[in-house]
Structures are given as structure tokens and as C-alpha cells.
Amino acid sequence: MKTVKLLKLPFGRSLLAIALAGTALGAPLAQAAEDKVLNLYSARHYQTDEKLYENFTKQTGIKINRIEAKEDELLERIKNEGANSPADVFLTVDAARLAVAHELGLFAPVKSKVLESRIPANLRTDDWFSFSTRARVIVYNKAAVKAADVQTYEDLADPKLKGKFCSRSGSHPYNLSLMSAIIAHQGEAKAEQWARGLVANFARAPKGGDTDQIKAVAAGECGVTISNTYYVARIMRSDKAEDKKTMEAVGVIWPNQKSYGTHINVSGGGMLKTAPHKEAAVKFLEYLASDDAQRYFADGNNEWPVVAGLKFANPALDSLGKFKADALPVGSLAMYRTKAQVVFDRAGFR
């Protein structure tokens, strides 16, 4: 398996693009690679994904050539490469990011009985599919905040939490997707009121990632935050003394269990319109919905499988327990993405 780091190569000049350009090196090379190669552009930055890809190659004989980078860089690369792009599949995390690729017209519709039968309708669109989910939960300091006071996302804007809320940037896709869900459920006016309440309750200016927020809550720098569950699960599964101490200090709440449920986000992808290996691309997408791959998402990266009823072994996810998930279609999150940023900006949540 070959991994090419995008930042080391200029747009349109990757080793992968050169190696697969039939017009430059002759058609035989491209033809020989047609059925046994998949060119993957991935913004999933998890080293544990290696086993996921290795298993696909072992099952199918199809070699994966992979380019990894941030979402915006990969999307810009695909646009610049145009019809000559060697990319077959684009993978990323967050529904908002997948929506950008859709809006740019990069994905091709995929008709697959396997994907339609295994992936719930609310977790797929016509041209991209969710393969794992993560929930956005409330994490609070057990010594500083009462669990009863932080049962919903709306509670985080209550003045009683003034000076206690911390968060990563409002422009980060994880928060934009949550805001998109709030807008979908409550409308723009109430969503902005909520955002202003969050800003009024800031313990400090937004900074860092979700793990930083959890540790800040545990240390007493702030009293409550929101985080994706796989960050929580990582700390729970750690053998480090400091991480064990962190989890002893915090509690985790499934928000909005009495209303629309806890917001979930996804990791997913789709086949590109210009994919040179379309058959391999569909096989790969179907593989990601297989039992083996779905269990990997749970065991390897602490994400929930999208396939219903699948049993997996992850003590951290098991200990978090069952919860009511928001059933809002992922397409709805995409629809409100731009408006979500506008609302956060107006509220001063940057």
C-alpha cells in the first residue's frame, strides 16, 4: 500500500497522477492497473485505518494507493486535476464536508443494493454514504457542575453556566454540523439566541480541539463542554495515569434524550465522477459497509457502525451505554451548513 502526503507535492503533479496518466506513460500501464487498483483521497487521519485498507486488499486483490491531507486541500486538488484526476474515492469526516464535495459536483451517483440495504436511509444520499457515526455529547466537571443542569444542548446557554462553557472554534465543521441540526429543529432565530447564550457563558475564547476541551473541564479551567464521543472513548481506553485522572473528574451526558435526541455526525465518502476505476470504487464503498469493516470502525477508532444490530467489542463504547440518536437526515445537516456559519458569526462565536 502506498501513501503519498499531499503537502509535499504541488497540485496536479502527484506521483500517483503521473504514474497513472496513460497519455504520458502509455495506455498499457493504465489498462493493467484498471481492475486491481483503487486511488483513494482520504481526509481520515487515523493511523489505525491501515488495517481497514489492508483487509480490503486481502479480500479483493485490489491495491490501494492513498493520498492523505486536509479536506480543503484534497477538494482543491480534485478540482485542479479536473477530468484527469486519478482519484476514485473521496473519504472524509463530517457531513458538512461531504456536502461541500457534493455542491462542487465531484461525486457520481452510485446504485448499489448492498449500500441501500445496509446503510439506513437517513445516513446516505444519492451520491455519498455514511460508514460510521459519532455523537456530540456534553462533558462536565462533576465537582463544579450538576448533571441535572446540563441535560440538553439548550441548557449550555443558560445564564447559570456563565463563565463555565468552553469549546473549540465555532467555524469548525463539528460545531457547524451541530448548529445545522439546531437550526433544522428550532429555526434560525432560536438557534442564534442559543449561540449568543453560549458566547455569554464562555470561560475563555474558543481554542484547541475536543480533547483539549475535555482536559480543560477535568482541570477546572471550565465546567462544561461538548465533544465527539470518539475523543471521550480514546481517553477512556488509555492506560496513562493522567487520562484515567481526567475521566475520574468528568461525567458524560447524552443530550436531549427527552426531545429530538443526541446529535450525531458521520464519517463517509463517495465515488468521484472522474474515477478511472469505477468498479473498484463501488467494491470499496460496499466493503466499508461490510461486517468486517463496520466492526473495525468501532474497535479501531471508537466510532459506531451504521449497520444496525451489528455486535462489536469496544469496552469504552459499551460503558457509554445506549442513547436516543437524532434521526435527522444527514442531507439536512448539509442544507443548513452555510447558514450555521452565519449564525455563529453574528453571535460572536468564532
pLDDT in tens, 175-207: 999 999 999 999 999 999 999 999 999 999 999
Q: Is 177 helix (H, G, I), strand (E, B) or coil?
A: helix
> Which of 18, 14, 23 has the alpha carbon at shortest distance from 41?
14
**Which residues line the annotated binding site?**
45, 230-231
Q: Is 147 helix (H, G, I), strand (E, B) or coil?
A: helix
Q: Is 123 helix (H, G, I), strand (E, B) or coil?
A: helix
The model's pTM:
0.86
Element (H, E) at 244: helix 241-249
Q: Is the confidence at residue 1, as pLDDT, over 80?
A: no
Residue with cell 434521526: 327
Residue count of the chain: 350
Q: Is the confidence at residue 26, as pLDDT, over 90?
A: no
d(CA 40, CA 14): 13
End-to-end Cα separation, the chain, in angstroms: 39
- Strand pairing partners for 40? 66, 89
- Pick the more confident residue, 18 or 120: 120
Q: Is the confidence at residue 262, as pLDDT, over 80?
A: yes
- Give the mean pLDDT of the chain: 90
Give the CA dihedral 283, 285, 288, 292, nearest 10 degrees: -10
pLDDT at 290: 97
CB 284 within 8 A of CB 272: no
Domain covering 134-263+322-347 in this structure, CATH number? 3.40.190.10
Q: Is 276 helix (H, G, I), strand (E, B) or coil?
A: coil
pLDDT at 34: 52
Set of cell numbers at residue 342: 452565519
Say if residue 331 is exposed, middle or buried (CB neighbours under 10 Å; 0-12, 13-18, 19+): middle
pLDDT at 7: 40
What ranges make up the beta strands (E) of 160-318? 224-228, 250-253, 264-271, 304-305
**Which residues line the annotated binding site for Fe cation?**
45, 230-231
DSSP summary character for residue 325: B
Give the CA dihedral 50, 51, 52, 57, nearest 10 degrees: 90
Q: What DSSP string describes 182-217?
A: HHHHH-HHHHHHHHHHHHHTBSS---S-HHHHHHHH
CB 108 within 8 A of CB 268: no
| Mean pLDDT to the nearest integer, 231-235 | 96
2-132+266-311 CATH, one of 3.40.190.10, 3.40.50.620, 3.60.110.10, 3.40.50.300: 3.40.190.10
Least confident residue range of 36-50, 118-132, 253-267 = 36-50
- Give percent of the chain above pLDDT 90: 79
Say if 2-132+266-311 and 134-263+322-347 have the same CATH topology: yes
Set of cell numbers at residue 338: 452555510
Query: For the chain, what are the domain ranges?
Result: 2-132+266-311, 134-263+322-347
CB 38 within 8 A of CB 294: no
pLDDT at 242: 97
